[in-house]
Structure 1
């Protein structure tokens, strides 16, 4: 089987259409269509159901392509290693992540990346909206979430967790907080995202998780602003470890209820790198993913 033909088929799958794959390859759609037909004829199965309006992967096609894609990715990586090309990426890397994650985590790492890969320029689109990679021509998205679902390829970069925090000044006015249930009596700073506004979930050891209903007079849609409000003594907040750990170490914030894990959605959260496909992964994207995996560390690490 021709590896180039398989890459073309995988590109059709990731782009969702023959026309989309053709635009990426800068070839005529009829050429891509002939390649797909030739691979299907060689395998003796139909990989895609095609109509005039849409293209979907068949069950047999999904089974075959899911096994082939990692093999081709490894072959490409091995070839780059042998040729010594992995140290020479170039071009513009368009990536996106949330405003707070860009400010607190990614931007501080960029000088080291650019010193190592001087021929790569970076266009960082910081946005709290999940930008569509195809529509916005994004090479790499960094998302903070449970394990991603959908058609994008994902790589886990680091584990994350939430912590309950308040400023020393605020705690001086309310006394000690001994149990998550104490939060019901406090002014809680709430994140204006679905699931974060009214109920925070806690667990400890093997005990079943339980919810605590929280209230407060301030709701904010931006994590950086919520962080600032907590440091100013406006109330208690639940914020990500990568956003508050430095302040806890410096005494600007105090961690509460540390015997409990907490979340507003799920306890299994992480930072993920998302990209469109394995087989046509540009070298500039590959080295950025490798760099982030090496330099991002969970607090417990």
Structure 2
């Protein structure tokens, strides 16, 4: 429709279909048909046509003023979008898990804002997966495997998992030497459905999977850390939970070092690869670089 508006404006200014056709490298019948289409759409005549001249009707004069403003506004809108393409700006709707967000996303937001002052943050934190499309989320930082094929996922980091317990717990229980020994231990079971759990390991023996149980089940990853620190049992958790030096200062002991749990992926997830806004690309690259540089996390960017 804007193209018809532009043709109409040029016809008014040129004074004839033939002159406009020459400007547009088109034909007089084509220009005439475009004006007729616009008149049909508006339900009125814009020009009085004679063999010698075109004359604007009253409706044509009214429409000309409005059409000019519309075309100018459209040009300004296109220009504004063009200016934004190269500069990250606007509101970034960011989602992440509550614990990971509190420990590793929020502490990095001040530097992000300093680098990109034209980006505002709307942060959603929960332990479930947000519906990115329904909730209008631009970017989610997800911990664990992503399975939604309708979304674009870029792995930005990988975190080691570890098996840990307190010295106090181990003073009362023999330290396990093999994953099979976990059957005789109190294990902190992270299971939202509270239906049991299996822990997985890799070693020179190959892949090992063992069923575990214990008196404490939790549905929050931060609760695993808290329960382990209270001596309630053995925890199986990514090392990014421990940012206060709990392992280095001996408050926690890493167990079964010869049996490596599979690493936990951390991914940037977003709805579409097409026309990725600069604000989203900037955030993905920023967090990938931040996670790669921070040795506390035990994260190595992929």
* TM-score interval for Structure 1 and Structure 2 normalised by the shorter chain: 0.5 to 0.7
Q: How far did residue 194 of structure 1 move? A: 6.2
The answer as to 2:218 corresponding to 1:220 is yes
Alpha-carbon distance in 2 for matches of 1:109, 1:251: 27
Gap change, CA 1:300 and 1:95, over 3 Å in 2: closer
Q: 8 Å contact 1:199–1:214 — kept in the other structure?
A: yes
Pairing partner for 1:234 from 232, 235, 241: 232
Match of 1:164 in 2: 163
Root-mean-square deviation over aligned CA pairs: 2.4
Gap change, CA 1:164 and 1:292, over 3 Å in 2: same
Match of 2:258 in 1: 259
Q: 8 Å contact 2:138–2:270 — kept in the other structure?
A: yes
Gap change, CA 1:160 and 1:219, over 3 Å in 2: same
TM-score by length of 2: 0.65
Match of 2:150 in 1: 151
Alpha-carbon distance in 1 for matches of 2:194, 2:208: 14
Partner SS, residue 181 of structure 1: helix
Partner SS, residue 214 of structure 2: coil
Partner SS, residue 296 of structure 1: helix
Alpha-carbon distance in 1 for matches of 2:271, 2:213: 40
Match of 1:108 in 2: 107
Q: For each residue in 1:204-260, what CA deviation from the matched residue of structure 2 results, as whole angstroms up to 9, or x when unmatched?
A: 03x331222211111000111121111111111101121136421232211111111
Contiguous gaps of at least 5 residues in structure 2: 1-81
The answer as to 2:278 corresponding to 1:283 is yes
Contiguous gaps of at least 5 residues in structure 1: 1-79
Match of 1:211 in 2: 209
Pairing partner for 1:270 from 258, 261, 265: 265
Larger Rg belongs to? 2
Alpha-carbon distance in 2 for matches of 1:247, 1:124: 28
Summarize the alignment of residues 1-301 of structure 1 with structure 2, pairs less than 5 Å apart: 86=86, 88-146=87-145, 148-193=147-192, 197-205=196-204, 207-244=205-242, 246-262=245-261, 267=262, 269-297=264-292, 299=298, 301=300
TM-score by length of 1: 0.65
Q: 8 Å contact 1:244–1:253 — kept in the other structure?
A: no
Higher RCO, 1 vs 2 (CA within 8 Å, ≥6 residues apart): 1
Tell me the matched-pair count.
214
Q: How far did residue 143 of structure 1 move? A: 1.2
The runs of 4+ residues in structure 1 deviating greater than 4 Å are: 83-86
